[in-house]
Amino acid sequence: MTISLSIVLWLPLAAGIIALALPGALARWVSLLGAAMVLAYAAVIAIDYDTGAGGLQYVTDETWIRSLGVHYTLAVSGLNVFLILLTAITFFAAALWVALKDTDLPKPGLYAFLMGLAQSGVLGAFLAQDLALFVVFFDLMLVPFFFLTLVWGGPDRGPAVLKLFIYTLVGSLLMLVGAIATGVLAKAGAGHHVSFLFSDLQRAPLGKGSQEWIFLVFALAFLIKMPAFPFHGWMPDGYLQMPIPVLAVFSAVLSKVAAYGFLQVALPLFPRGAVQYQELLMLLSLASILYGSAMAFSTSQVRLILGYSSVAQLGFITLGIFALNQQGVDGALIQAVNHGLVAAPLIFIVALLAARSGGSEDLRDMGGIAFRAPILAAVFLVLTLALLAMPGSSNFIGEFLILLGAFKSKLAIALIASTGVGMAAVYALRLYIRSMHNRVGPKVESRELSRADGFVLVPLTIAIVAFALYPQAALHAGERDVRARLAPVAAVQHGGAADLAAAVRRGASR
């Protein structure tokens, strides 16, 4: 079967551009159609991808800027295949939400265009097999979110966008510097020309000093994007001001690009840096887990509870990556998908809760919403249990592998991190009980999901349950590529500096 990745990559933007030219309702439906086609394409890719072989498949390779050695190279690998599917699912859900529910959204054409651009940006970052291309998409995907928040956001969106912009700007600039330095210092192309292709760069590892500082630069950019403690300053304002469907994709997908970045860029290209700063990164993850969890059960703003829980969950993911062993990274990869699948519907739930408690998104104004809404209560309950990584959910398999990986590399950190599992139970249940159960809040009016809500939420919930029954699908797909990305790190860890390049080649060819 021939699959062209350029089509799936640019389809969302194309749909957005068409929508821009169309009036009102039509724009929303064109945008939805675009998202549906991407979803179908992504599903075909996920089914068709040969997990037995692993590695890069459906490769598109063009030289883009010859003088700079930048290639337009796209490919699906075991690392990104399920993240692409996740992206398609969440963007489709967001488009469906707007098409069915936000029918009075102002400037729907512009909105559709920006969402299309955002989706193309995210897909590009996942698909890119060239460091420069990755950086371009990584920055591109953020731009529409500034505007989406500025135009459709909450009342205090100005400062929020400014803060988001400044934080991510710092990260982007650093990353750009790091990327260029990598390309120029490695001169990895044929005949010692500059090349940014991941495959070239892996074959020509940098010296120890360069690897270490460039690793730090990338790590900082990714940590800001996640966000991780203590670089999460933009998160509370950002979460409070973004419109719901925008926040759903932002929370579900964008943080995962950063986690993916660690796996795709930081580990294979700068293994010495990764090993050198392993403990630092694990400690930062631990701080994110503990601090994020504690904050999540201390605040009463529903959006912030979810925001801080993301900080904690991303902490787990980073912890798994920097366990620097197979189990930890496998767990991190599947957990990235799991968290995305759970985070998006939970953000939609925020809107439903607010609609039932007099417009307030504060837990103190809620309570007793479950009474006349058994389906909403059931859906929310499944999401809550998945969020707290209940054994039996796929999230548990992810967390199990992450903690096992961490346990094998740094016992003490894993033991402390495991308290985060208990704290997750506290904040997740607190969120559920104080909104759905207890006495009825002063302005609460309990009512069932509308049909439109059901169309968005029920399929997502079913997907979570289905994935819980067979997480091996994603684990198996990722296994070989994880091993390949870890090969350079393993070589450094085992001291064989000389045969690093050889190890990399073995890993790549495997």
Partner 1 sequence: MSIQTAAWLVLALPLAGSLKLALGFRFWRGAMAGWIGTAAVGLAFVFALVTLVKLLDLPAEQRHVASSLWDLANVGGVHIRLGIYIDPLSTLMILVVSGVSTLIHLYSVGYMRSDEGYTRFFSYLNFFVFSMLLLVLAGNLALLIVGWAFVGAASYFLISFWYRRSTATNAGIKAFVINVIGDVGLVLGTFFIFRRMGVLDYGPLFHGVQHAFDKNEASLVAGMILILVGAFAKSAQIPFHTWLPDAMEGPTPVSSLIHAATMVTAGVYLIGRLHPLFEWAPTAADVGAVVGALTLLVAGTIGLAVTDLKRVIAYSTMSQIGYMIMGVSAAAYTGGFFHLTTHAFFKALLFMSAGSVIAAMGNEQSLDKISGFRKAMPFTFRCFLVGGLALSAFPLMSGFFSKDDLLYEVGQRGGWYYGLYAAGYIGSLFTVIYTWRMIFRTFWGEPCEQALALEHGHLYHAPHPFNPANGEVEDTGVGFPGPDHHIAEQTWQMKAAMSALALLSIAGGLLLLPFESLEPLRKFLEPTFADSIVAHPKNTGLETVGLVLSSVIAVAGIAFAYATWVTNAGGAARWQQRFAPLHNLFVNKWYFDELIDLAVVRPLAAFGRWGRDTFERIVVSGALVGGTSGIVKSGSAAVRGLQTGLLRGYAGLVVGGMFAVVLYFLLRAA
Do 338 and 317 contact (CB within 8 A), yes or no?
A: no
Of 29, 213, 371, 455, the residue at the interface with partner 1 (CB under 8 A) is: 371
**Nearest C-alpha neighbor of 300 from the set 251, 376, 388, 367:** 367
Of all helices (H) and strands (E), which one includes residue 152?
A: helix 143-152
Residue type, 430: R
**With binding defined as CB under 8 A, does residue 450 bind partner 1?**
no
Q: Which of 29, 140, 276, 299 binds partner 1 (CB under 8 A)?
A: 299
Find the shortest distance in angstroms from Cβ 388 to partner 1: 8
Can you list the positions of beta strands (E) in 447-494?
A: none
Is residue 161 at the binding interface for partner 1, with CB under 8 A as the rule?
yes
Q: Quick check: 176 binds partner 1 (CB under 8 A)? A: yes
Residue 59 sits at φ, ψ, to 5 deg, of -70, 130
Asked if 302 is part of the footprint of partner 1 (rule: CB under 8 A), the reply reads no
Closest by Cα among 344, 229, 354, 255 to 301: 354
Helix (H, G, I), strand (E, B) or coil at 143: helix
* From candidates 351, 421, 487, 500, binder to partner 1 by CB under 8 A: 421
- In one-letter notation, the amino acid at residue 483 is R
Per-residue CA distances from 457 to 92, 346, 461 (Å): 12, 9, 6
Judged by CB under 8 A, does residue 378 bind partner 1?
yes
Q: Which residues contact 384 (CB under 8 A, 6 or more apart)?
A: 428, 429, 431, 432
Least distance in angstroms from the C-beta of 176 to partner 1: 6
Beta carbon of residue 254, minimum distance to partner 1 (angstroms, whole number): 19
Number of Cβ within 10 Å of residue 355's Cβ equals: 14
Q: Per CB under 8 A, which of residues 387..416 are in contact with partner 1? A: 388, 390-392, 396-397, 400-401, 403-404, 407-408, 414-415
Alpha-carbon torsion angle 229, 230, 233, 235, nearest 10: -10
Site for partner 1 in 310-339 (CB under 8 A): 325-327, 330
Site string for partner 1, 479-508 (x = CB under 8 A): x--x--------------------------
37-76 residues near partner 1, rule: CB under 8 A: 68
Q: Which is nearer to partner 1, 106 or 422 (CB)?
A: 422
* Nearest CB to partner 1, comparing residues 232 and 256: 232
Supply the minimum distance, in Å, between the C-beta of residue 107 and partner 1. Answer: 16
Q: Is 275 in the site for partner 1 (CB under 8 A)?
A: no
Residue type, 487: A
463 makes contact with partner 1 (CB under 8 A): no
140 near partner 1, rule: CB under 8 A = no
